[in-house]
Amino acid sequence: MGQTASSTPQPPPAQCPVSHASAAETIVSKPAQCPVSHASSDASKPARCPVQHDSSSSLNPLNQMPTLSQTPSSSQQSLLPVDRVTSSIPRPASPETGEPASLWDYPSPQQFYNALVRKGWETPEEHVESMVEIHNFLNERAWDEVIRWEKRVPAPPNSEPLQLARFMGKPGEMSPKARFWLLVGSIFPKKFNSEPPFDRHDWIVRRPWSNEEVRYVIDYYSAPPEPDGSPVFSLDVRPALDSFGSIKQRIGMATEEIWASFREQQNATSNRNESQPSRS
């Protein structure tokens, strides 16, 4: 539900508003794995974003992110940029610190690399900047999908924009929908994807006009690469079935997509009929 396709631009845009959306597609050549190379000495660990997105005590309670150092690692051979890119994703004000509402920042390449080192993942330093750009691009695509869903929710005129309040990574914890499609793929492998998502994130989106918080689930899949070898990823973004409002959103979106698909088929059939020469 809510799947869209997109090509990864030239590495776009560093504190990640989450990690990595109705399935939006970007670009990789390996099946079911994170856009970041996660070669690890511990093969038992599931593929996931190197930036930790859980609720452990080591995380900043204001943004659910670990404090990532900008200092080069002892084993690092070259210097990496420490500049951080500001996302387009709004975040709410912090009552604890008095910090006003602003935009989330993505981690710098140096912070991203340090996260890889901390996790024990060996990654060529020359690839880190591209990884960060893909990571950031996926987040932006995910937020675009959230906005698309939220446009179905009535909001007062001139209300504040949506905000990403919190987020959490759940690698290895498949959503019910992902489990369902994995089962379908195992039965019909030629028609459906039989690979599980390489990552999952839950985003808590805040509607400022009502202070309501809505949980979104994002599954990240690998998709077939482009003809030129560019990697492609599929993001499945949708509101979690936590409330009647979210259930209504999901049903409404599914109905629209089914109807749109039906009309597209009808138009294609009509165009074929019109293109055939008449026999008199």
The tens digit of pLDDT for each residue in 112-140 reads 998 888 878 777 899 999 989 989 999 99
DSSP string, 17-43: SS-----EEEE-SSSS--SS---BS-T
Residue 191 DSSP class: T
C-alpha 214/C-alpha 240 separation (Å) is 8
Using alpha carbons only, what angle is made at residue 87 by residues 30 and 257, rounded to the nearest 5 degrees? Answer: 60
Residue where the block lists tokens 């005590």:
57
C-alpha 270/C-alpha 267 separation (Å) is 5
Phi/psi of residue 239, each to 5°? -70, 140
DSSP string, 40-86: BS-TTSPP--SS--S--TTEETTTTEE----SPPTT--S-------E
C-alpha 265/C-alpha 262 separation (Å) is 5
Are 195 and 173 in contact, with CB atoms under 8 Å apart? Answer: no
C-alpha 230/C-alpha 7 separation (Å) is 8
Residues of the chain with pLDDT under 70: 1-66, 273-280
Are 176 and 242 in contact, with CB atoms under 8 Å apart? Answer: no
pLDDT for the residue 279: 55
Instruction: Walk across the sheet containing 199-207 and list its strands.
Output: 4-5, 24-27, 232-239, 212-223, 199-207, 163-169
Domain positions in the chain: 4-240, 244-272
DSSP string, 118-167: HHTB---GGGHHHHHHHHHHHHHHHHHHHHHHHTTS---TTPPPPEEEEE
Please give the structure tokens belonging to residue 101: 């509402």
Torsion angle of the four alpha carbons 8, 11, 17, 20, in this order, in degrees rounded to the nearest 10: 40
- Quote the pTM value: 0.71
C-alpha 128/C-alpha 108 separation (Å) is 10
pLDDT for the residue 240: 94
Which residues, listed in sequence order, are joined to residue 205 by a DSSP beta bridge?
164, 214
